[in-house]
């Protein structure tokens, strides 16, 4: 979202110089309002869940589905979930 707002702001302010004074002010106010609304939405919304947060859910679901499989191993779980097995120290 920040990239979109940044590009829109840059382009809008470049165009503002070509507009009549009143229109330029209205465009500036509209861009500012959109930026504040996006920021407020971001701050008030639920936190974004990243891939790292989802991995335990994937691992548990895979284990639950394959629990009866005699071939189930840490390596197979890791491979199925797209993660690596840390080396044993």
Q: What digits encode the pLDDT tens for the residues 30-64?
A: 777 777 777 677 667 665 556 567 778 888 888 88
Is pLDDT at 69 greater than 60 in this prediction?
yes
Give Cα separations from 81 to 59, 69, 77 (angstroms).
Answer: 6, 16, 6
Apex 40 CA angle, 15 and 55, nearest 5: 110
- C-alpha 66/C-alpha 71 separation (Å) is 9
- C-alpha 80/C-alpha 33 separation (Å) is 46
To the question of pTM greater than 0.85 for the whole model, the response is no
């Amino acid at each position: 979202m920040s990239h979109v707002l940044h590009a829109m702001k840059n382009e809008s302010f470049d165009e503002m110089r070509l507009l009549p004074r009143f229109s330029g002010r209205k465009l500036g106010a509209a861009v500012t309002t959109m930026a504040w609304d996006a920021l407020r939405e971001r701050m008030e919304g639920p936190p974004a869940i990243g891939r790292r947060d989802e991995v335990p859910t994937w691992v548990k679901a895979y284990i639950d589905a394959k629990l009866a499989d005699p071939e189930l191993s840490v390596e197979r779980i890791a491979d199925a979930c797209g993660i690596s097995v840390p080396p044993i120290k």
